[in-house]
Amino acid sequence: MPTKAAPDETHDPARQSWVESANAPGADFPIQNLPYGVFSARGSARHIGVAIGDDILDLTRLEDLGMLCPGSGRVFDEGILNPFMKLGPKVWRKTRAAIAKLLDASNPALQGDATLRQNVLIPAADARMHLPFFVRSYTDFYASREHATNVGSMFRDPHNALMPNWLHLPVGYNGRASTVVVSGTDIRRPMGQIMDAGQSAPHFAPSARLDFEVELGAVVGTDSAMGARLSTAQAYEMIFGYVLLNDWSARDIQVWEYQPLGPFQSKAFATSISPWVVTADALEPFRKAAPAREVPLLDYLHEETPNNFDIDLTVDLTPHGGQAHRIAQTNAGALYYSSAQQLAHHASSGCAMCVGDLLGSGTISGSEAGTYGSLLELTWNGRDPLAIGGKPQSFLADHDSVTISGACQGAYRLGFGQVSGRILPAD
């Protein structure tokens, strides 16, 4: 199966939109981006839209008007992206080109009709964003070598931080699709079994070591059959797009429960994703090769093309009533295993993959302290607290808010927007 198409006219950095805010320097959503999301506004039901500058182009209404017809039937009328994603890569690319044409500064079809324009272009500030797709299943990986090394150094042997399997396969575990929520959803502090140092038995209590994890989420757009395997090229082609992902983690619950089968309740309580799905096609100009391999990978994980992406990521922590503090900056390009490799490995046993499956990259960390993607690493398990609002802080307090932002920067900026959440006290 072919890999994604090379950059085309939809990536032309000189292309401009008649939506002026999309042409502003530093805009997250220029005409070269066109991420998909689900929104409601003006009393409407949930509609499908694409972000353009400070506005949302309503694809549900365009489909109603016969101005955008991706499939033989309606695909933008169910309030989720799954029916559209199911149509596959050729339709994704054709629809992206059609939307870009409608928004192009040289096209009068929309910009020349004030009534029509008002009907299909909604200010983003007036819209409420929803979970963009039905999450069929959720799997979280452990794809950052730097993160895995830091955690292994903390809890095992600094000289043998990586487990023997880590350099040979993308380690992962099956998470909970039921608690994947859209950015802006409040997160209730979880409770669980905690084993305090020096004690002989655990107790049940609210987590005192609540953490965030900076991740990239890959959204599977087409199915694979049970019993089938995938090459990395086929896997890459199956991925519709990517979201920012925060896999909230209760470290004190995790350290007690994770052996021998890995995280369970310490992760199951919440995973937040950004509302806009940036398509794999939009990311074509920002592909980046993975780091050099220390040991050769088995053939099914081999990649013929660069399948990572050069995405800058930042983390802001805002205490209750306080100012935002920038606590980390990192980049997704250094992930040891790409999303395509994660998906190929997931299917390697014959596991069926489905439209709407979500694959988390695992925490994305760099090689220096300010590039770590979790408080566990930034404070080295609480040993080196951060100064937040003039006070030392190692993990998340009640009413703290965490905001992760992401963008690619080249001939133009291509943004993901943000994924944010606020911590509520345990119930």
The whole-model pTM stands at 0.96
- Sorted by sequence, the CB contacts under 8 Å of residue 419 that are 6+ apart come out as 183, 243, 244, 245, 246, 272, 273, 274, 403, 404
pLDDT tens, residue by residue, 277-288: 999 999 999 999
Q: How far, in Å, are 47, 49, 127, 278 from residue 41 at the CA level?
A: 9, 11, 5, 21
pLDDT of residue 71: 81
Going by their DSSP bridges, the two strands 401-409 and 312-318 should be labelled as antiparallel
The pLDDT assigned to 42 comes to: 78
**Pair 377, 371: CB distance under 8 Å:** no
Does 147 qualify as catalytic in the annotation?
A: yes
**pLDDT given for residue 44 in this prediction:** 80
pLDDT at position 145 is 98
8 Å CB contact between 61 and 45: no
User: Structure tokens of 69?
Assistant: 């017809």
Q: Quick one: pLDDT at residue 5? A: 54
pLDDT digits (tens, 9 = 90+) for 142-189: 999 999 999 999 988 899 999 999 999 999 999 999 999 999 999 999
Q: What are phi and psi of 35, to 5 degrees?
A: -75, 155
Q: Which of 11, 47, 130, 147 is catalytic?
A: 147
CA distance 30 to 284: 15
Q: How far is CA 284 from CA 224, 300, 351, 410, in A?
A: 23, 23, 28, 12
Q: With 60 as the cut, is the pLDDT of residue 4 above it?
A: no
Residues 6 or more apart whose CB falls under 8 angstroms from that of 410 comprise: 13, 285, 286, 310
Return the pLDDT at 6. 67
Q: Which amino acid is at 257?
A: E
Q: Which two tokens stand for residue 132?
A: 């963009």
C-alpha span between 415 and 244 (Å, rounded): 10
- Of all residues in the chain, the percent with pLDDT exceeding 90 is 94
Buried b / exposed e across 352-376, counting CB within 10 Å, b at 16+?
ebebbbbbbbbbbbbeeeebbbbbb
Q: What's the chain's Rg over C-alpha atoms?
A: 22
Pair 304, 233: CB distance under 8 Å: yes
Mean pLDDT of the chain: 96
Q: Give the pLDDT of residue 2.
A: 42
Rounded to the nearest 5°, which phi and psi values hold at 39?
A: -145, 165
Average pLDDT over residues 343-360: 98
Q: In the prediction, which pLDDT does 7 show?
A: 76
CA distance linking residue 311 with residue 292, whole number of Å = 19
pLDDT digits (tens, 9 = 90+) for 298-327: 999 999 999 999 999 999 999 999 999 999
Residue 130 pLDDT grade (very low, low, confident, very high; cuts 50, 70, 90):
very high
Mean pLDDT of 252-265: 94
Query: For the chain, which domains are there?
Result: 9-129 (2.30.30.230), 138-424 (3.90.850.10)
What's the confidence (pLDDT) of residue 383? 96
Q: What is the pLDDT of residues 26-61, one digit of tens each?
A: 999 999 999 999 999 978 899 999 999 999 999 999
Q: Has residue 239 got a pLDDT over 70?
A: yes
pLDDT of res. 156 = 87
From 1, 48, 73, select the one nearest 224 (Cα to Cα): 1
